[in-house]
């Protein structure tokens, strides 16, 4: 079997199984005007499985979510080729992956009534991403381990299931329940509010972040995230190509965390990617460094290489908006160790001035100017966190985790300035 890789409806490459008994596959370009990844530059020769696996593996769900979807589709969870064949019609970024020569139905939407949307949210532990094996028209993929629904929303606010390759536009992340099978996120109180607070706080402090809303669905808080890899000014939404830092560096998802002594992944490697490929490298390097400061302040230890992305736009490559911002430090059973080291230091309690100086060097920033940037950002984050907390109280979405986040910010501010 051969899978075609399509960009804006045009085939740009193909995936081929190494042989009938293997789960390995190779990738080759066909008529691509540009590379699909920084780690897969245009060339005539095929890419070996070890070369192309990091990019395509990152398009699939991870962990328990992947296992559940594979079981539902009667596939082996380790068979990435088969999963891509089933789920590849709507991935992160602009690509679609499907069997070559397959006849496709016209993209469409199955609009959901409120009760149907609530039911979909309730069934996410059983049907991750909202995938129902009984509906062969619904085939989509999104990386990560958290239960979420991948839907499309119109200008009137209706949600629907994207069918037959219809581009999804929004991600719904409900507050996990305390019971049931664990995916790694259940039982963390206020998780949806936590992420909403952190995403809103980032935007208020001048950082580019994916737009979010907080809704009540199926009787629980639900974070609604607008996809930054979709152009929602047109209908149907248009896909925008993006890749995460693991994909850009040629690392499989299991290497998303930096370890002591590792050069990859790291903020230094991110800076090099931006310096070598970004349309505005200076602007993006500063934006990335400010994001590091923000994540440290709010206690987000999960800012790993798959939670950092770059976008391939018509105007060149740019750093993607922030996403998946969660103050993990408010949950005692989560590791406090940083996903990527600040000056190669992974222990947040050991961060000092020298590490911020090293980070400035990694991003090619003047150390004194970066010190002023950090001071300004600390003042802004502390002030806006109070204002946002007060608004949460007035608008009825306050949760005790917000006070915990503010305590983390206050405790970490001296380490930043």
Is residue 47 helix, strand or coil? strand
- CB distance 125 to 201 below 8 Å: no
Tokens (6 digits) for 254:
């299991």
The pairing of beta strand 309-313 with beta strand 241-244: antiparallel
Helix axes 267-277, 353-362, angle to 10 degrees: 30
- CB distance 224 to 237 below 8 Å: no
- CB distance 75 to 57 below 8 Å: no
CA 294 – CA 206 distance, rounded (Å): 11
Instruction: Tell which residue, 375, 383, 197, has the closest CA to residue 290.
Output: 375
Does 302 qualify as catalytic in the annotation? Answer: yes
State the catalytic residue, choosing from 229, 244, 302, 344: 302
**Long-range pairs of 384-392 with CB within 8 A, sequence gap ≥ 24:** 384/201, 384/204, 384/205, 385/201, 385/409, 387/204, 388/197, 388/200, 388/201, 388/204, 392/193, 392/197
Spell out a b/e string for 258-275, using b for 16 or more CB atoms within 10 Å of the CB, else e: beeeeeebbbbbbbbbbe
Residues carrying an active site annotation:
302
């Amino acid at each position: 079997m051969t899978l075609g890789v399509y960009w804006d409806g045009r085939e740009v490459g193909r995936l081929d199984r190494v042989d009938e008994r293997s789960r390995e596959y190779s990738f080759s370009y066909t008529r691509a005007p540009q590379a699909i990844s920084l780690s897969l530059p245009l060339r005539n020769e095929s890419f070996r499985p070890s070369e192309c696996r990091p990019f395509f593996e990152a398009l699939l769900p991870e962990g328990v979510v992947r296992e559940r979807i594979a079981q539902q589709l009667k596939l082996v969870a380790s068979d990435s080729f088969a999963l891509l064949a089933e789920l590849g019609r709507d991935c992160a970024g602009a690509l679609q992956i499907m069997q070559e020569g397959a006849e496709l139905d016209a993209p469409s939407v199955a609009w959901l009534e409120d009760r149907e949307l609530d039911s979909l949210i309730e069934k996410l532990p059983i049907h991750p991403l909202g995938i129902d094996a009984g509906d062969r028209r619904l085939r989509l993929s999104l990386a990560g381990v958290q239960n979420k629904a991948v839907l499309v929303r119109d200008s009137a606010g209706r949600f629907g299931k994207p069918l037959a390759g219809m581009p999804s536009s929004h991600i719904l992340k409900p507050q996990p329940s305390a019971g049931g099978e664990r995916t790694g996120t259940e039982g963390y109180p206020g998780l949806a509010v936590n992420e909403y607070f952190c995403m809103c706080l980032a935007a208020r402090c001048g950082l580019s972040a994916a737009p979010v809303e907080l809704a009540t669905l199926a009787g629980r808080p639900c974070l609604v995230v607008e996809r930054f890899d979709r152009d929602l000014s047109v209908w149907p939404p248009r896909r925008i190509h993006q890749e995460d830092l693991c994909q850009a560096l040629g690392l499989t998802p299991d290497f998303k965390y930096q370890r002591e002594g590792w050069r990859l992944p790291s903020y230094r490697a991110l800076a090099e990617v931006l310096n070598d490929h970004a349309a505005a490298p200076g602007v993006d390097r500063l934006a990335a460094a400010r994001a590091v400061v923000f994540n440290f302040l709010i206690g987000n230890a999960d800012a790993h290489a798959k939670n950092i992305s770059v976008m391939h736009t018509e105007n060149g490559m740019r750093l993607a908006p922030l996403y998946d911002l969660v103050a993990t430090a408010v949950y005692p059973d989560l590791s406090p160790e940083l996903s990527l080291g600040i000056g190669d230091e992974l222990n947040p309690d050991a961060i000092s001035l020298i590490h911020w100086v090293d980070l400035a060097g990694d991003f090619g920033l003047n150390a004194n100017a970066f010190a002023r940037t950090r001071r300004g950002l600390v003042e802004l984050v502390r002030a806006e966190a109070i204002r946002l907390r007060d608004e949460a109280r007035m608008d009825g979405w306050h949760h005790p985790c917000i006070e915990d986040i503010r305590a983390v910010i206050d405790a970490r501010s001296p380490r930043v300035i």
